[in-house]
Each structure stands twice: as C-alpha cells, then as structure tokens.
Amino acid sequence: MDSAGNILARRDGRVGHLVFNNPERHNAVSLAMWEEAARVLDEFAANDEVRVVVLSGSGNKAFVSGADISKFESERGSEAAVDHYNVAVEKVYAAVHDFPKPVIAMIRGYCIGGGLGLAVSCDIRIASDHARFAMPAAKLGLGYDLPGIRRFVEVIGSSFTKEMFFTARQFDAGEAHAMGLVNRVVPDADIEAYVKDYADTIAANAPLTIAAVKFIATELAKEEPERDFERCAALIRGCFSSSDYKEGRQAFMEKRKPVFTGK
C-alpha cells in the first residue's frame, strides 16, 4: 500500500508505516490528512500481515506540529466547521489508542499540539534527542476535551499533564523522558534503525498475547463499571487455546525462535 500526497503509507515486512508528509509546514495536519490517516489505520487494522504500526513525520524537523493554521479559516472558521474538524481528529486519536495492534510513535523534531495528542495516543513513544514537545492550547485559547486530557493523564499523570497545559512551554527530550512522556530517547542519527529493530522485535512475538495485553491495559484505564471483563477473559482463553501457545512451548523446548501465526 502506498498513498499519495500528504499521508504516506507502506508496509515493511510485518510493520505498517503511516507518515505525515507536510514537511514545508513541519508536518502540520489538515482536515483531509486526518481523514486519510483514519482510512489508512482502518486498512492496517484489517490486514493480518501488519502486526505493528509506526507513526512518523517526513524529514527530521518534526513529527507532527499540530493543526495546519493556514487552513483555519477554511476548515475551522465556524462553530460547525470546528466541530467537524474536532470529530475527525478525535477519530484518529481513538483509532490509535484503541488500535488492536501496537502503535509506535517515532518522534523527531517538533511534537506540538495535535501532534503531541497523537503521540500520547500511541502505545510506545521513541524520541530523537533533538525532539521538542509542547501543548500550546493555553496560548491559543483552545479548549481541550476530556478524552484528550484523559490520555495525557494515562501516560504522564495528572501533575505533569497540568504542567504541560498550564505552562504551554516546550519541553526537551530529556524532560519528556523524565516525566514518562517518551519510553526511549536515542541519538537522532540512530532513531530509524532503532525503531525498525524495536518494531521487528514486537512483530515477531505472539500477536494474540500482545493484543490481549493491549486491550486489558486499555480497559484498566477506564472506570470499573465500563470495563469489559468478559472480553478480557475471552482474549486470555484465546491465547491458551491457540496454535501459537503450542508453538511457543515447542520452540522453547527445541531451543529455537518461535514462528507465530496469530492463530
């Protein structure tokens, strides 16, 4: 799969790549880009050959720097247009957060506003040592809704979430790592190779186990009455009744790498 324009998509083995491709504007995202990203994510979710998804931005100056301000008048010039735009953005955030497979954000350069909202929706964030993070909503007078703030709190806790939003300042990669915003910080020159190895490592592991862990971890972030305990239990039963469970045991006994099929 290879999309044209401002959203690029490809598959590298078992890893799907979704690239925000607007480098002239630090990969700022338009309404059309959010809508295309949602379509690509749907395709990756339905493709059994894809076991991990990596989100990134073109070039080395930005992951995603937020909304494309040049399109504000045309895309967010009225209350109805703002609502339509926000629905499109939240659809992508929710799709990433609830994606049935692991999603890694590879972050180089600026990760600002909507880009940071996207990053915290991912399961794992790997940042270049040149990365910079900010949530400037308070400098723009923007409101940030409950699902979005909840995802920040899930990742970095209430206190750091408040600090990021209250100050609206930029945080460097070291600060982001200290607050738990990113999992790893690596030299900028090494990040692509590092993320490839990381994604390939995950993709080689048992897909049913990983899917169960992701679903259960997501459920734990919900209030207890909202949790789907039956689905959690069913996913665990599915692991133990799978061919992959048998393959894992055999590979261990035979001292070889297992070959998992997700069945």
One domain for residues 186 and 199: yes
The CATH number for 151's domain is 3.90.226.10
Task: Determine, yes or no, domain membership for 134.
Answer: yes
Question: Apex CA 113: angle with CA 109 and CA 118, to 5°?
Answer: 80
Under 8 Å between Cβ of 200 and 176: no
**CA Rg value for the chain:** 19
Instruction: For residue 113, give both structure tokens.
Output: 């506003």
pLDDT attached to residue 222: 85
Q: Where are the alpha helices (DSSP H) in the chain?
A: 31-46, 72-75, 79-97, 114-121, 137-140, 146-167, 173-178, 191-203, 207-220, 229-240, 243-253
Q: Are 222 and 163 found together in one domain?
A: no
Question: What secondary structure letter does DSSP report for 12?
Answer: E
Tokens representing residue 64 in the block: 């995603």
Specify whether 163 is located in the same domain as 85.
yes
- Of 93, 123, 117, the C-alpha closest to 105 is 123
CA distance to 37, 58, 83, 84, 89, per residue, from 80 (Å): 22, 31, 5, 6, 14
Q: What domain count does the chain have?
A: 2
**112 assigned to some structural domain:** yes
- Is residue 152 assigned to a domain? yes
Answer whether residue 2 is part of any domain: no
Cα angle, residue 132 at apex, residues 142 and 143 outer, rounded to 5°: 10
How far is the C-alpha of 205 from the C-alpha of 162, rounded, in Å? 36
Predicted local distance difference test score (pLDDT) of residue 74: 56
Instruction: Mark whether 11 and 64 lie in a shared domain.
Output: yes
The answer to whether residue 159 is domain-embedded is yes
Q: What angle do CA 96, 19, 112 make, to 5 degrees?
A: 70
Residues 215 and 191 in one domain: no
**For residue 2, what pLDDT is reported?**
41
- Residue 62: which H helix or E strand, with range? strand 62-64
Tell me, yes or no, whether 150 and 214 share the same domain: no
143 shares its domain with 70: yes
Pair 61, 150 in one domain: yes
Q: Are residues 19 and 91 in the same domain?
A: yes
Task: Say yes or no: 32 and 126 in one domain.
Answer: yes
- Provide the residue range defining the domain that includes 237: 207-253
pTM of model > 0.85: yes
Kindly state whether residue 259 falls inside one of the protein's structural domains. Answer: no
pLDDT tens, the chain, 263 aa long: 444 479 999 999 999 999 999 998 899 998 899 999 999 999 999 999 999 999 999 998 999 987 766 665 555 556 777 778 888 999 999 999 999 999 999 999 999 999 999 999 999 999 999 999 999 999 988 888 899 999 999 999 999 999 999 999 999 999 999 999 999 999 999 999 999 999 999 999 999 999 999 999 999 988 889 999 999 999 999 999 999 999 999 999 999 999 999 99
Nearest residue to 155 via CA among 180, 173, 125: 180
pLDDT the model gives residue 219: 93
pLDDT of residue 71: 60
**Whether residue 139 sits in one domain with residue 24:** yes
Q: What pLDDT, on a 0 to 100 scale, did the predictor assign at position 1?
A: 43
66 and 159 fall within a common domain: yes
